[in-house]
Structure 1
């Protein structure tokens, strides 16, 4: 009996010693990174174990990642990868980087799926004054629009294992609807590779989150009020999220008015003209910031009814703000409701 009691006592002491020697969770320090990229700004909050903060070169690594993305996909840089492709004649294969391939493949997929996101609309975007060129002195004629429409369409792109090729001369591409989100995804992948899994990455209002804050509280993201006074920003709704990206698109930030007519930067590929409809803001939640970015643009071009139908058909978490005679009205897809 004594031998049994001694054995139990020994096991209990061993257990208590083991508990005392169990490694404690490392203290986390919030690291804030801020800078400029892609014609806008970025803000990154990442929680890092205190002992690793001085070991990592987070700011220089992140800025280098974003610099590479911008050099590849900015139409504002003369020798960028995208501009090199845009200057090529039809039928000439262009060897592309892996990053460029990822954005091209997803942009084509979204274009084929939605019918309202067309990355070849660069000439139309420039024509309406929302590209690198200045705003046009006169509104483009229907004949000129029809002429340029002959040079656009994702069906005129050929993406193969060897590279990318255009099927018609004059075709150009613009990744304004997907490159920013891709930059966010690239930074997120970099942080994941360092086993830093609690972070928030934001570029120009598009956001991707992972994990949570040290107190286990979720990330709180804001959907903007689209009819806020000029020069101001107001919150329409706050949502709490973990491990997801959020992108919002609308016609309330980039536009101009001519003779009392409102011209949005969102061009419909079928008409070749800026959209004029009731939908003013679309927010999309998705695991990929690039996909959320592209979908937000595509759904805004669709209009309220078609956008909601598409969201439900594809089980997308989508929040819509539309104009009505009574003021702004909101709708959320089934997949978005848990975030409200």
Structure 2
């Protein structure tokens, strides 16, 4: 990848149109370029053979496709694959491919590190370094061998999507637009702690599914687990969500990691039912993957089953998310952290 050239990947049709007009090319050329990028997923401008040689050369002076392959991958015995991508600045981000029967889901990252510093998240321990561009977000899809078999994409990797909303929305436009991937918004889920500055805008500008990280229905305890609670309470989040219709195309879900002895008893289940009563939503219960230097443990399956059954019996549909890839640094941020630490050690010994 040539750092002196701008990537075409991640450009919307409007942006591609401006590029070709600025270069003195016909306006319709923008649609051709979009088709090569998002339909045929070419590796180079030279492959865009319905552009004249002159226009290809003109385009290559300032632009390139901008796709880069993963620098490392880890494959689990259950078929899960964790990919590691390097940014031009030398940082690392992860995406995870998760096959499951007739579904193939890719979990993508939106930032290098994260500002949210959730107690249970390895990415938060890295701190925040940078936000990814739409090109870098889409590259996680574009550059893996399983790209054409994907059925779903979830923005649940490294970073807080609502803290990088302009680039996330640009990526979502390309994924769902007729000139882009032409996916149904139903195939895409964006997960967030629920930042005020992004929540309403996302709900107004996108039809993709929404998942809110909840993890405790009690604000004081949620703040201990998720410092973002202090700025924007789960109670305020739920109040805003009640103003939107989730009964049709868009699905609303809440993510709830079940921690042993922390948020796994009946009082928590009862409060979740009370907090979310009347809201058209579902609850995803998640097993905790232990991370270094964090005094949290995952609840056992018997406890999780009882928790799920209570919620469902009291009108809050709940499922237990299958745990995948435990043998390959399953927790988000683990692989990139290990890579960064290894590079730092190597540099110190040189």
TM-score between the two structures when normalised by the length of structure 2? 0.26
Give the number of the structure whose alpha-carbon radius of gyration is greater.
1
TM-score between the two structures when normalised by the length of structure 1? 0.27
Task: Report which of the two has the higher share of strand.
Answer: 1
